[in-house]
């Protein structure tokens, strides 16, 4: 993921396993800067975590 998400955007994490679906979360807070950028997110199941996105993550903008 190369772009920066903003509060309200959704992040989709694609699964590397064929039979496993992707995971989705909503960005609640943007944390850190530069290479240390990470997010407080709420996953579709309701859990809130701190998330450091990897190359398998993409942003869905919420306009």
Tens digit of pLDDT for each residue in 20-62?
Answer: 889 999 999 999 887 788 999 999 999 999 999 998 999 999 8
Report the pLDDT averaged over residues 9-20.
86
Residue spans per domain, the chain: 10-60
Please tell me the predicted confidence (pLDDT) of residue 36.
82
Question: What pLDDT is recorded for position 2?
Answer: 59
Alpha carbon separation from 54 to 6, 14, 29, 63 (Å, rounded): 16, 10, 17, 23
Task: pLDDT band for 1, please (50, 70, 90 cuts).
Answer: low
pTM for the full model? Answer: 0.85
Q: Are 5 and 30 in contact (CB under 8 A)?
A: yes
């Amino acid at each position: 993921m190369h772009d920066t998400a903003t509060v309200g955007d959704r992040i989709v994490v694609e699964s590397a396993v064929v039979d496993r679906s992707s995971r989705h979360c909503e960005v609640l807070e943007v944390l850190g800067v530069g290479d240390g950028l990470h997010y407080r997110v709420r996953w579709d199941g309701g859990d809130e975590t701190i998330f450091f996105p990897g190359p398998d993550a993409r942003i869905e903008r919420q306009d």
